Chains A and B, each alone.
Chain A
Amino acid sequence: MDDALPLVRDVLDKQIFDAHDEKLGKVDGIVLTLRANRPPRVAAIETDVKTAWGRVHPALPRWIERVQRWLHAEGIAPTRIPFEQVVRTGIDVQVDIDGKRTNAYVWETWLKQRFVDRIPGGNRGVR
C-alpha cells in the first residue's frame, strides 16, 4: 500500500477547517507549480465560488463577476492557502492558519454589516 496522498480523493472538494476548527470553505481548487525536470509541486489550495462554478462551465465565473460588480463587490480574490499549511487531509482538510486572517469571510462580514445586524434579533436572539 503506497502512502501517496490522493489529491482528488482526499483534498479536492473537502471541507476546510482552520486552526480554530472554524469552517473556511471547501477546497474548490488545488494549484500545482510546474518545475523544469522536477515533479510539479503542490503549491496551494483555493476556496472561491468562481473557482467552483468554473469547473461546471467556463462562462459561469464571468457571470459571477457581473453580479459582484452589481453589488459593488468586485475584485475579491480567491482565498489561497499554501499547501504547507495543510496539516490533515481525509474527509476534511485542516489548515494551520487563523481563517480570520484570510479573505474567506469577506462576504460573511459584508452580509453581517449590511443586512443581519440591521434586523432585530440578528445578534440578540433567544439562544
Chain B
Amino acid sequence: MASGEERRVEQLLGRCIVAPDGSVVGRIEEMRAVREGRYFVVSEFHIGTRALLERIAVRHFGWALPRRLHGYRARWDQVDLTDPLLPRLRCEAHELKKIAAK
C-alpha cells in the first residue's frame, strides 16, 4: 500500500474483512491505538459480533447471547488496508486471536 495515503476510521468501521480464501471473517467494529513517541498508532483491529458487543458493553444480557457469536483481534500487520472498501487479512482466519465470551 502507498505510504502516506489516508484511511478513515469511520469508513473502515463496519466494513467486512475477508480472509485470503475470500471468506468473510467479520466486520471491523473497533480499532485500538497505542502510543509511539508523541503519536498514536493503530495496534489492533477488533472484528466480529463479540467486538461490537464489547464496544457497546451490553451488561446483564450476556446470558442471552449464544456462545457461537464470534470475535477476533487482528494485529495491524495482519490487516491490509490497500483497498479501503475491502480490507483483507494477510493471514488465515484461524491465526487470529479470539475475543473471549464474558
Which residues from chain A sit less than 8 Å from chain B, CB to CB? 2-9, 12, 28-36, 38-43, 51, 55, 83-84
The answer to whether A41 touches B8, judged by C-beta atoms less than 8 angstroms apart, is no
Closest to B42 in A: A40
Q: How far is the CA of A9 from the CA of B52 in the complex (A)?
A: 10
The answer to whether B10 touches A12, judged by C-beta atoms less than 8 angstroms apart, is yes
CB proximity of B4 to chain A, nearest CB, Å? 6
The answer to whether B81 touches A34, judged by C-beta atoms less than 8 angstroms apart, is yes
Closest to A43 in B: B6
Chain A residues with CB under 8 A of B38: 84
Instruction: Tell me which of B5, B10, B33 contacts A5 (CB under 8 A).
Output: B33
Chain A residues with CB under 8 A of B31: 6-8
The answer to whether A32 touches B6, judged by C-beta atoms less than 8 angstroms apart, is yes
The answer to whether B41 touches A30, judged by C-beta atoms less than 8 angstroms apart, is no
**Cβ-based interface call for B61 (8 A):** no
Instruction: Tell me which of A2, A5, A12 contacts B40 (CB under 8 A).
Output: A5
Q: A3, A9, A35 — which one has the most chain B CB atoms within 10 A of its CB? A: A9
Chain B residues with CB under 8 A of A31: 6-9
**Cβ-based interface call for B58 (8 A):** no
The answer to whether A4 touches B44, judged by C-beta atoms less than 8 angstroms apart, is yes
Q: A2, A7, A31, A35 — which one has the most chain B CB atoms within 10 A of its CB? A: A7
Contact A29 B41, CB 8 Å, known A3-B34, A9-B55: no
Closest to A44 in B: B6
Q: How far is the CA of A18 from the CA of B10 in the complex (A)?
A: 22
**Cβ-based interface call for B100 (8 A):** no
Instruction: Tell me which of A6, A9, A34, A41 contacts B39 (CB under 8 A).
Output: A41
Closest to A31 in B: B6
Contact A8 B29, CB 8 Å, known A38-B41, A40-B81: yes
CB proximity of A97 to chain B, nearest CB, Å? 15
The answer to whether B34 touches A55, judged by C-beta atoms less than 8 angstroms apart, is no
The answer to whether A29 touches B32, judged by C-beta atoms less than 8 angstroms apart, is no
The answer to whether A7 touches B33, judged by C-beta atoms less than 8 angstroms apart, is yes
